């Protein structure tokens, strides 16, 4: 038997789905909501939650007219790892003409 080491051209294995003990969507949202309530944030509105990789979740809250709060959670330890407030990124819708030279309503 000869032992050969061959390099594969295949990409690395994809990130496996979270295990049963890891943070689920509803739990991530609940942890985020609890975090903002305990810290006295007012005028926040839930905007979404997404799993960035196998064990990291980002929960987004709008803060008034021109800011957001991003909370990052470790899905295995179920702890917050980062809270990031971002100001001045909200905008207003801009109506553009569909045809150049035409006027907007």
pLDDT, tens digit, for every residue of 46-95? 999 999 988 899 999 998 777 899 999 988 888 889 999 988 755 555 56
pTM exceeds 0.85: no
Q: Which has the minimum average pLDDT: 17-21, 26-30, 54-58, 78-82?
A: 17-21
CATH code at 25-87:
3.10.450
Would you call 97 helix, strand, or coil by DSSP?
coil
Measure the CA angle with vertex 15, ends 13 and 20; round to 5°: 135
The answer to whether 57 and 76 are in contact (CB under 8 A) is: no
């Amino acid at each position: 038997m000869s032992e050969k080491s061959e390099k594969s051209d295949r990409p690395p294995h994809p990130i496996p789905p979270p295990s049963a003990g890891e943070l689920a969507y509803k739990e991530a949202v609940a942890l985020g909501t609890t975090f903002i309530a305990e810290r006295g944030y007012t005028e926040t509105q839930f905007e979404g939650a997404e799993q960035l990789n196998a064990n990291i979740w980002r929960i987004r809250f709008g803060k008034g007219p021109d800011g957001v709060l991003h909370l990052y959670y470790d899905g295995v330890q179920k702890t917050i790892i980062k809270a990031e407030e971002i100001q001045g990124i909200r905008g207003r819708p801009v109506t553009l003409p569909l045809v150049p030279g035409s006027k907007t309503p």
